[in-house]
Amino acid sequence: MRGVLTVIIPTFQAEQALMRVLPQLLGQRVIVSDGGSTDDTLTCAVRAGAVLAVGVRGRGAQLKLGAKLAALSGGTGDWYLFLHADSQLPDGWRDVVHDAMQQDAPRYFRFKADASGLKSLFMNRMVALRCWALGLPYGDQGLLISRALYERVGGHAKMALFEDVELIERLKKVATVRPLPLALTTDVSKHWQDGLWRRGLRNLGLLWRYKHGATVSELLKAYTK
């Protein structure tokens, strides 16, 4: 029998997103790791019964803090599901996740844009292509991983950008990371606001620069322009 599953969600000004995702997690052990929100993120989390971890802003640092808190009150056989606040879980996710836990290997969800039309279909296909060709799921696809494996590879680096890529690259050296048969529905409104092609090409360029030695501080400047 596998240990307890803890869902760990990094947040910053995520009140509206949490109001959508936390009802899907009722009865589940949830840690919300916040980076200094000034809206009602913390209130929303507490009302839903989540445990709070509050620290410095930066997704990598927040995920690491959430996992540390989970480890303090959990067992060595536990599992973590790292999840972005603006993701929506599919029906039947609990059974699929628990089945995957029995297989004792890290998993991620497939990607589904929370919009309809050709642009969304194209985006879904491009993400699937990236995962197939590069073996590189992003954090908005979630990550299911055992505590033992997470600690073995050193957990998340305290990075404000590409913390998901950096962890996956280390994971692939010791384990096979495969997709689950269900998809997370992810908020893509920022892609639509910035322009799908413009944002997609920018993110691809940032990934290329990261893999060729650019520092996170350099990449953040380009990311926030």
Query: Can you give the residue ranges of every domain in the chain?
Result: 5-117+136-188
What confidence score (pLDDT) does residue 224 get?
63
Between strands 79-82 and 107-113, the pairing is unpaired
> Which structure tokens are listed for 9?
């969600």
CB atoms within 10 A of CB 62: 28
Question: How far lies 211's CA from each of 101, 159, 176, in Å?
Answer: 31, 14, 21
How would you label 160-169 residue by residue, b for 16+ Cβ within 10 Å and e otherwise? bbbbbbbbbe
pTM over 0.75: yes
pLDDT tens-digit profile of 189-208? 776 666 666 777 777 788 88
**Cα–Cα distance for residue pair 69/73, rounded to 1 Å:** 7
What confidence score (pLDDT) does residue 98 get?
94
Classify residue 114 by burial, with Cβ atoms within 10 Å: 0-12, 13-18, 19+. Answer: middle
**Cα–Cα distance for residue pair 150/156, rounded to 1 Å:** 8
| CATH assignment of 5-117+136-188, among 3.40.50.720, 3.90.550.10, 3.40.630.30, 3.40.50.300 | 3.90.550.10
Higher pLDDT, 205 or 113: 113
**Cα–Cα distance for residue pair 210/24, rounded to 1 Å:** 35
What confidence score (pLDDT) does residue 213 get?
79
> Which structure tokens are listed for 121?
């279909």
CB atoms within 10 A of CB 23: 9
Average the pLDDT over each of 23-27, 120-124, 174-178 and give the range with the smallest value: 120-124
Mean pLDDT, rounded, of the chain: 90
Higher pLDDT, 114 or 144: 144
In the sheet that 87-88 helps form, which strands lie side by side, from edge to edge? 51-54, 29-34, 5-11, 79-82, 143-146, 107-113, 178-186, 87-88
Cross-strand pairs, 79: 5, 146
**Cα–Cα distance for residue pair 140/147, rounded to 1 Å:** 20
**Cα–Cα distance for residue pair 184/98, rounded to 1 Å:** 16
Mean pLDDT across 62-87:
94
**pLDDT band for position 1 (50/70/90)?**
very low
> Which structure tokens are listed for 4?
């307890």
